[in-house]
């Protein structure tokens, strides 16, 4: 069907990055080499999708009536596999551009990670694919012959042995599309088998929507894939295993999804959709794919591969397919966004997803817990961004609290139900981790009075709290608020005898102000402290204060505004320090002790910015004094 014509062969060198990639692939010991076929079929399928889309509006193409299909031919004797598609094709320049540089995002990630150790590399080859070049894991020589759909373009041929060069020549090819002839390496001869090809197609490309014919040198071509558009079937006809298989082939994820949602509706907009929540947010050590988005079809024709308008941004962890007959077939990829149908679909899909997540939470707490652990931050992001759905999103929130166990989640509703009769607010504490938050001196009072406090330890929590302000009519209140109004409990007042005397305590306050200077806004007695000697409270209004946690992470040299230092007049450290100061104002221990009290609080807050070396010197000075006694 294709034979090179007599024109001078042109030899070109790959870009450096491709050379690096090829070098790694050629020497790769990757065991799942069969995924090369998945990559080539996926390219053929892309090319077919593109010509199908093109022909919606343009009939001036080569071979307008050709069947949209993929053919795989195996020559067992010659150890040659040939893949043919009737897709959009490539002219000479497109071949240089597409097969001489790195187009595939997986390949780029692969190169970036190449130095970082084998396991990541293997994960990328398998779970993300490295695109066309993966063929060189099995090929000794590859010849690509292609004819573009544009009638005026000539056919061309590209050839490479996977070393540093490729060659180009004109070619004689009359029919539209691309043919890839693969001469297998000796150690990959096993792939020259129709049976093997069929089983790889089933495993990785069963749901490709175009027929994939497989044939040997003799015998009939057989369609090897099932081609079902699963989303267009009635949910009652689809088995759970089919949903899982489809997910894996769609995403290359090797784990089953956590949840699938098959949505079939005709009003307000026609929609056939399968949405998936993956089990993990990051596959292996990899971040979520940068090219997230849903596959958008109209009547089984792929309109857009990574549509980002069908769900709000914070639902970017969702994978799947959406097909709507209400989208006009001539909709361009650019106008999808502004099409009113897109807006209707987005509303319907978002609503359905939230509803199904709520059902999951009610019906399967363990599974929901797994969802929450992986994707809770996205729900929180949603709360800050999606005002229309805020109530539904709030119901999805889960927290750890001073009362929950380490693997128990608290809902807002549960919290509100067990609030004390006179409790005015929902209390929370911000922290870097559960452990440090749990140690916080701010909790003294709440522990003593058995008032539950929510731990907010996600990066986004401070921002969420500052946006939310209240839930179910109850104000959200940070326990480090300087003006926290707490019921005073007379009974629990410590008897005078255990407290630092007023005069000595006042002296200590004055000294602490002098020692800490600008680093504190003020020093005063703390009335809510029980077991802790001191705490730092924020004088700022809620928004600023809760945002400090976010800013500290985002802004490298962010310095949080100074706070108020509260001292516990009944704590032995404070009592002894006050007494030491009043008996010996010159004592060399007072200032280091004040400094250390202050630094301890910053450490607990995860906000210590001072020098560790200085602190060690100071701790040793205090230890020496303690041991001397
Ligand atoms: P990706 O598919 O992620 O873009 P690949 O490395 O798999 O990256 O392919 C590189 C490019 O080569 C594709 O984007 C496409 O432009 C072109 N290409 C590969 N195979 C075909 C084909 N069968 N038909 C048309 N173009 C193709
Ligand atoms: Mg590809």
Predicted confidence (pLDDT) per residue in 7-30, tens digit: 668 999 999 889 989 988 887 777
Closest C-alpha to ligand 1, atom 15? 98
Report the 10 Å Cβ neighbour count for 156. Answer: 25
Which of 201, 223, 245 is the last residue in one of the domains? 223
Sign of CA dihedral 493, 495, 499, 505: positive
In the block, residue with structure tokens 């100061």 = 581
Buried b (16+ CB within 10 A) or exposed e, 278-291: bbbeebeebeebee
- Indicate the length of the chain as a whole number: 629
Single out the residue in 369, 389, 406 at which a domain terminates: 369
Indicate the residue among 369, 392, 407 that finishes a domain.
369
Compute the distance from residue 447 Cα to the ligand 2 centre, in Å: 58
Nearest ligand 1 atom to alpha carbon 94? 16
131 lines ligand 1 (CB under 6 A): yes
Q: In this structure, what CATH number is given to the domain that contains residue 564? A: 1.20.120.790
Do residues 433 and 440 touch, judged by C-beta distance below 8 A? Answer: no
Ligand 1, atom nearest to 130 Cα: 6
pLDDT at 489: 59
CATH number at residue 210: 3.30.565.10
Predicted local confidence at residue 253, as pLDDT: 86
- At residue 493, the pLDDT reads 57
Strand residues in 494-569 grouped as ranges (E):
520-525, 534-537, 563-567
Give me the pLDDT at residue 547, please.
Answer: 77
Phi, psi of 498 (to 5 degrees): -85, 0
Cα(537)–Cα(545) distance, integer angstroms? 10
Cα-to-chain-centroid distance, residue 292 = 9
pLDDT at 482: 78
Ligand lying closest to the C-alpha of residue 93:
1
Do 143 and 128 share a structural domain?
Answer: yes
Separation of CA 84 and ligand 2 centre (Å): 15
Q: Under a CB-based contact definition with an 8 Å cutoff, are residues 84 and 178 in contact? A: yes
pLDDT for the residue 319: 95
Cα separation, 608 vs 599, whole angstroms: 7
Give yes or no for residue 179 CB within 6 A of ligand 1: no
- The pLDDT value recorded for residue 431 is 86
Q: What are the pLDDT digits (tens) for 330-364?
A: 777 678 888 899 999 999 999 999 999 999 999 99
Q: Are strands 426-430 and 453-456 parallel, antiparallel or unpaired?
A: parallel
571 and 442 fall within a common domain: yes
Is 553 exposed, middle or buried (CB count within 10 Å of its CB: 0-12, 13-18, 19+)? middle
Query: Which ranges of the chain have pLDDT less than 70?
Result: 1-8, 117-119, 283-290, 333, 487-497, 540-543
87 lines ligand 1 (CB under 6 A): yes
Q: Are residues 182 and 260 in the same domain?
A: no
Give the Å distance between the CA of 491 and the centre of ligand 2: 73
Closest ligand 1 atom to Cα of 88: 25
141 membership: H or E segment, kind and range:
strand 139-147
Instruction: Count how many domains the chain has.
Output: 3
User: Which residue, by CA, sits nearest to atom 7 of ligand 1?
Assistant: 131
Asked whether residue 358 is domain-assigned, the answer is yes
Residues 208 and 244 in one domain: no
Backbone angles phi, psi at 66, to 5 degrees: -60, 145
Number of the ligand 1 atom closest to the C-alpha atom of 89: 25
* pTM for the structure as a whole: 0.81
Within this chain, do residues 155 and 283 fall inside the same structural domain, yes or no? no
Q: Which of 40, 41, 44, 46 to mutate to test the pocket of ligand 1 (most atoms within 8 A of CB)?
A: 46
């Amino acid at each position: 069907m294709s034979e090179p014509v007599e024109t001078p062969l042109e030899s070109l060198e790959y870009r450096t990055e491709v050379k690096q990639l090829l070098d790694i692939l050629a020497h790769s010991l990757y065991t799942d080499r069969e995924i090369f076929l998945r990559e080539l079929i996926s390219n053929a399928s892309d090319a077919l999708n593109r010509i199908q889309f093109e022909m919606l509006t343009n009939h001036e193409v080569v071979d307008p009536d050709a069947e949209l299909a993929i053919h795989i031919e195996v020559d067992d004797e010659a150890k040659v596999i040939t893949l043919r598609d009737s897709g959009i094709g490539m002219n000479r320049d497109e071949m240089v551009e597409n097969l001489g540089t790195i187009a595939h995002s997986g390949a780029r990630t692969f190169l970036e990670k190449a130095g970082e150790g084998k396991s990541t590399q293997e994960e990328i080859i398998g779970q993300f694919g490295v695109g066309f070049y993966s063929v060189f894991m099995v090929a000794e020589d590859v010849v690509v012959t292609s004819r573009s759909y544009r009638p005026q373009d000539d056919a061309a041929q590209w050839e490479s042995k996977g070393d540093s060069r490729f060659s180009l020549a004109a070619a004689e090819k009359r029919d539209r599309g691309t043919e890839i002839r693969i001469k297998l390496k000796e150690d990959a001869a096993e792939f020259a088998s129709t049976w093997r090809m069929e089983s790889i197609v089933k495993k990785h490309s069963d749901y490709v929507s175009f027929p994939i014919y497989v044939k040997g040198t003799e015998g009939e071509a057989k369609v090897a894939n099932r081609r079902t558009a699963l989303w267009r079937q009635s949910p009652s006809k689809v088995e759970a295993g089919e949903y899982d298989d489809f997910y894996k082939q769609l995403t290359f994820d090797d784990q089953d999804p956590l949840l699938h949602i098959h949505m079939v509706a005709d009003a307000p907009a026609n929609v056939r959709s399968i949405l998936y929540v993956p089990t993990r947010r990051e596959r292996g050590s990899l971040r979520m794919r940068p090219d997230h988005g849903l596959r958008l079809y109209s009547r089984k024709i792929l309109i857009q591969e990574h549509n980002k308008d069908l769900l709000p941004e914070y639902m970017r962890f969702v994978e799947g397919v959406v097909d709507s007959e209400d989208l006009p077939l001539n909709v361009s990829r650019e106008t999808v966004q502004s099409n009113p149908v897109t807006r209707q679909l987005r509303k319907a899909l978002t609503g359905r997803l939230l509803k199904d997540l709520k059902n999951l939470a009610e019906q399967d707490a363990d599974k929901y817990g797994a969802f929450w652990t992986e994707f809770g931050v996205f729900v929180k992001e949603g709360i800050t961004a999606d005002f229309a759905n805020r109530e539904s999103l709030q119901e999805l929130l889960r927290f750890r609290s001073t009362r929950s166990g380490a693997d128990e989640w608290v809902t807002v509703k549960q919290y509100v139900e067990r609030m004390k009769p006179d409790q005015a607010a929902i209390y929370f504490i911000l922290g870097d981790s559960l452990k440090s938050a749990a140690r916080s001196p701010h909790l003294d009072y709440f522990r003593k009075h058995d008032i539950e406090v929510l731990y907010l330890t996600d990066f986004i929590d401070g921002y969420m709290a500052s946006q939310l302000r209240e839930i179910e009519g109850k104000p959200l209140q940070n326990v480090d608020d300087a003006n926290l109004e707490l019921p005073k409990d007379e009974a629990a007042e410590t008897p005078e005898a255990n407290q630092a005397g007023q005069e000595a305590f006042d002296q200590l306050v004055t000294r602490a102000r002098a020692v800490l200077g600008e680093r504190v806004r003020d020093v005063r007695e703390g009335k809510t402290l029980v077991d802790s000697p001191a705490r730092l409270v924020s004088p700022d209004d809620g928004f600023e204060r809760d945002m400090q946690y976010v800013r500290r992470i985002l802004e490298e040299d962010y310095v949080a505004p100074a706070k108020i230092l509260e001292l516990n007049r009944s704590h032995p450290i404070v009592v002894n320090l006050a007494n030491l100061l009043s008996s010996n104002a010159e004592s060399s221990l007072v200032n280091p002790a004040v400094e250390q009290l202050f630094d301890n609080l910053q450490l607990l807050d995860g906000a210590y910015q001072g020098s560790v070396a200085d602190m060690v010197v100071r701790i040793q000075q205090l230890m020496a004094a303690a041991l001397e006694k």
